[in-house]
Structure 1
Amino acid sequence: MSNLPTDPKLKEMMTSLDDDKIDMLAATSVLQQKATDVRAQTVNWQSYMQSQMISQEDYNFICNFDTTDSQKREELLKANRLQCAKTFLNLLGHISKDQTLQYILVLVDDMIQEDRTRVEIFHEYAAKTKESVWGPFLNLLNRPDEFITNMTSRIIAKIACWAQNQMERSDLHFYLTWLKDQLKVQNNEHIQSVARCLQMMLRIDEYRFAFVSVDGISTLLSVLTGRVNFQVQYQLIFCIWVLTFNPLLAEKMNKFNVIIILADILSDSVKEKVTRIILAVYRNLIEKPEDAQVAKEHCIAMVQCKVLKQLAIFEQRKYDDEDISADVQFLTEKLQSSVQDLSSFDEYATEVKSGRLEWSPVHKSKFWRENAQRLNEKNYELLRILIRYLETSQDPLVLSVASFDIGEYVRHYPRGKHVIEQLGGKQLVMQLLAHDDPNVRYEALLAVQKLMVHNWEYLGRQLEKEQGDAKPGSAVISGRA
């Protein structure tokens, strides 16, 4: 198996990152600072042997390994490959003292960082003993010491990405879930290290789908919508960018509101690296989907999020990075082209799916006369979204516009009232009559009136049919009563 990315642009960037930018980036990070301190310590291996916590052969190997320079270490490993894995796994499994475990993990990390092919040592040993290569490391993720868990995570990512054998499904699920949960930890001082592990893992296609299956995309975006520094922003958006190299994931991505969230960051960011990676994500969302309609919808969503305005600002700047200029030009051309082909219904559908409803021109009556029936398409997809906003949104503007749109749909589509009732929209609109915001109450009242007018007309017709020669107007009067 080859884990190298096949896309030239991804391969180029990942190659540059592999040259210690993923693994040694931000030497001042908390994990790196602590690792430097741990390296300076010494361990009394003899005391562990005398207390029979480690065997004689493990003692002999670790003493030799711990006291040699890089050249002699290479010779030692060539002569004792399987003993190396055996000793380290034994030490990690039998020693409980945090300080010593920290030191062992730094030794392992330094060893495989020095030569990444050494990750195969652990796989060779696991194959010979018919044991899992992952078990001893995954167990350490449950330790309370944050340096131990994050250094272990770093080692797992390297073994998973640099070895020929991929991580097995259950172990992979456990590890990716751990990474995802670490992203959600409030004020996690090791979040850069967690993100760096993800940057490595998501270069491999099989790992991408596994990450998506544990709700990884939603977690990335949830963290990005919070307050994180630009370095973490860059790393998490990098993870999204790597995911979009898979065409299927690129097609699904905007269902998580990726375009909107990144547009907000793009408009606020002052860091060139963050701008560059967002533009790269946008480019992939247009280039990678195999379904041309999805690519078109992504373009429309970017237009809706005022990305063209940002691109016009970027065009006036000079960037040292040629990729930025190229991506700005590419995106500008694609978005301008999509604007020319944009129908009012396309614009409306994109606005509804974005969740950012506003009093744009597509909410005028002319639009509804021409397009009301189109809200029945794809099993009432847009109507269901509008009704969901009535139930979940806290934004008065969204509630006001959604109420108005539902009223206009009922007004212009003959069976609209029945559809809205079946989808549960009528009750939600009526609940908004008691909303705190006067604009929401007003639009909800108008929508209810439109729903009730249809009721009166239907009831009036039924009464007229039943009463036959009843007096003119009696049905209407009865209906109002």
Structure 2
Amino acid sequence: MSLDPPPYLGSLRNNIRQRPIPWDGAVRAGTITEAQLAKIRAVDKVRQEQRKQTVERDLDGYRVLFVGEPGTPGVLESASRRSDVVQYILVLLSDLLEGAPALAKALFKDSDPYRHFLPLLAHTNNPEDPIPLLTSTVLATLMASSQDESQSTEHALPLILSYLCGMTKNSNDAGLQDIAVMEYSSLLYGRSNRQLFWQQRSETVAPLIDILRKAAGIGGDSSASLYSGNNTVKSAGFEGLGGGVGLQLLYHVLLVLWQLSFEAEDIGDDMNDEYDIILLYTQLLRLSPKEKTTRLLLSTLYNLLEANPSTLLPAAVLARLPSLLQNVSGRHLTDPDLLEDLDRLKEMLEEYTKTKTTFDEYVAEVQSGHLRWSPPHRHQTFWAENARKIFEFENGEIPRKMADIMKKPWENDKAVLAIACNDVGCLVKEVPEKRYQLEKLGLKTRIMELMQDADESVRWESLKALGGWLKYSFENN
């Protein structure tokens, strides 16, 4: 997938192209050889078509120029002490790889072309040094153009991803972030690369999720405000909002995660468990101001839900995606792929919700690990009809999950603890003979602890829940 380079990278490369390099002096100093200079001049500052023809007529010669061969060092190695020459050669190589893609495959005739470039990623600690950035561009273009999936690429990719990760975390420089994200996109051309990208998700995916959370105008705990129905989330669209995330950067981040979603069968559940991806994407879809972002959001959601229906469709219902899709249908949308994904999503969710009961929705909410004040919690009839089923479901899975939820402090969303106390109190009231099962899970002890919580609603709900235990204790005495 070809994307125009970000303005910062284009400007940097143009400046380097225009710098005069004293090539003859470099030959006299032994920095480069006459033969190397002849090959450089044959493709430097000439028309693109002429450059392409020259390279394709002599692929082996240009392979040797850049990566060398036994007894003949490549130009980057021989000119390693001249930063100006190295910068120029890196830009020239990027141009050649883009203009003559056959060169990329030719470079792989060398058993490991990466060994000439990877050290340049750590060329210096000076953030102003362009060599590491230019090297990452060469490597991304080399991989994307060759579509290589060899063992040498498998070994090199984690190092390249780690370098790019540093740029994606640089929230003070959106230009560098955009370059890194676009290079990510070019690298995700094959299944093995996408799997390696996911294996390094603390470096690769997590910073991208942070960018999306900022774009949606929500804080560090994305699910807290959204699950609790907090209306303070910004809702006027991305551009100029959400921590200053620009529309282009947002689009490129969504593009990378869309590419990653083609591995949804293997990673979809983990994406949702670790990043609340369904909830986050539902909020992003609510705010999406452009068809191109809406298209990527819908397509990614479809990939995730279609590959993981039993686990992620309940999460989508909990995030209120079905009603949002009806609203999206009312927008003036023209993209045929977007409309197709929208229809397929609506159909999938309608088919799922047809057969689901309030009990199913409650179970899905508890299994999501994040409670909100949805209707069942305060509905007396729901508890009268379903409390016993809750104990029996999957041999007591729901009370166990409730205990896990209540172990967390929930500093950013105290409502979760209040809701959990409410639910435990309802279970004790409706099925008092099961209260010892709840005690074995530590729920009574945890509720007693929460009576001292700083949050008033948590204290009140824990007091009410404990009242059920006390009531039956007194009645038995």
1:135 aligns with 2:115: yes
- The CA deviation at 1:380 is 6.5
- The CA deviation at 1:369 is 3.6
Q: Any gaps of 5 or more consecutive residues in structure 1? A: 1-17, 462-475, 477-481
Q: Deviations over 1:320-352 (max 9, x none)?
A: 211222222222222222222112232123323
1:443 aligns with 2:461: yes
What residue is the counterpart of 2:279 in the other structure?
260
Q: Deviations over 1:146-196 (max 9, x none)?
A: 643333222212222332532533322222233334322222321111111
Q: Give the AA of the match of 1:196.
A: M
What residue is the counterpart of 2:154 in the other structure?
169
Report the TM-score, using the length of structure 2 for normalisation. Answer: 0.79
Q: Give the AA of the match of 2:333.
A: Y
User: For 2:39, which of 49, 61, 77 is the aligned residue?
Assistant: 61
What residue is the counterpart of 1:236 in the other structure?
253
Supply the distance in 2 between the matched residues of 1:426 and 1:265 (Cα, whole angstroms): 39
- The CA deviation at 1:353 is 4.3
Supply the distance in 2 between the matched residues of 1:185 and 1:353 (Cα, whole angstroms): 35
Contact in 1 for aligned 2:52/2:100 (Cα 8 Å):
no
**Aligned pair in 2 of structure 1 residues 164, 34: CA closer, same or farther (>3 Å)?**
closer
TM alignment of 1:72-91, pairs within 5 A: 72-89=50-67, 90-91=74-75
Contact in 2 for aligned 1:154/1:197 (Cα 8 Å):
yes
Contact in 2 for aligned 1:49/1:55 (Cα 8 Å):
yes
- The CA deviation at 1:82 is 3.3
Contact in 2 for aligned 1:45/1:63 (Cα 8 Å):
no
What residue is the counterpart of 1:92 in the other structure?
76
Tell which structure's C-alpha radius of gyration is larger: 1
Supply the distance in 1 between the matched residues of 2:129 and 2:359 (Cα, whole angstroms): 52
- The CA deviation at 1:438 is 0.6
- The CA deviation at 1:86 is 3.1
Q: Give the AA of the match of 1:58.
A: Q
What residue is the counterpart of 1:4 in the other structure?
none
Supply the distance in 1 between the matched residues of 2:206 and 2:433 (Cα, whole angstroms): 39
What residue is the counterpart of 2:358 in the other structure?
344
Q: Give the AA of the match of 1:40.
A: Q
User: Greater shift after overlay, 157-166 or 188-197?
Assistant: 157-166
- The CA deviation at 1:209 is 0.9
User: Greater shift after overlay, 372-381 or 167-176?
Assistant: 372-381
Aligned-residue RMSD, C-alpha = 2.9
What residue is the counterpart of 1:202 in the other structure?
188
What residue is the counterpart of 2:93 in the other structure?
108
What residue is the counterpart of 1:155 in the other structure?
138
Supply the distance in 1 between the matched residues of 2:35 and 2:397 (Cα, whole angstroms): 68
Q: Deviations over 1:2-60 (max 9, x none)?
A: xxxxxxxxxxxxxxxx3x3x2x255xx21122222222222112232222223343333
What residue is the counterpart of 1:225 in the other structure?
213
**Aligned pair in 2 of structure 1 residues 74, 334: CA closer, same or farther (>3 Å)?**
closer
- The CA deviation at 1:394 is 2.0
Contact in 2 for aligned 1:393/1:399 (Cα 8 Å):
no
Q: What count of residue pairs does the alignment treat as equivalent?
A: 425
Supply the distance in 1 between the matched residues of 2:462 and 2:394 (Cα, whole angstroms): 19
Supply the distance in 2 between the matched residues of 1:50 and 1:419 (Cα, whole angstroms): 84
Structure 1 counterpart SS, 2:401 = helix
Supply the distance in 1 between the matched residues of 2:189 and 2:129 (Cα, whole angstroms): 25
Q: Deviations over 1:257-298 (max 9, x none)?
A: 1110111111122122111111111111233x2xxxx31442
- The CA deviation at 1:414 is 4.6
User: For 2:22, which of 33, 40, 44 is the aligned residue?
Assistant: 44
What residue is the counterpart of 1:245 in the other structure?
262
What residue is the counterpart of 1:328 in the other structure?
342
User: Greater shift after overlay, 331-340 or 109-118?
Assistant: 331-340
Supply the distance in 1 between the matched residues of 2:15 and 2:193 (Cα, whole angstroms): 33
Q: Give the AA of the match of 2:209.
A: L
What residue is the counterpart of 2:198 in the other structure?
212
Supply the distance in 2 between the matched residues of 1:193 and 1:51 (Cα, whole angstroms): 35
Question: What percent of counterpart residues are identical?
Answer: 23
What residue is the counterpart of 1:479 in the other structure?
none
Supply the distance in 2 between the matched residues of 1:375 and 1:403 (Cα, whole angstroms): 21
- The CA deviation at 1:453 is 6.4
Q: Any gaps of 5 or more consecutive residues in structure 2? A: 68-73, 215-242
Q: Give the AA of the match of 1:233.
A: L
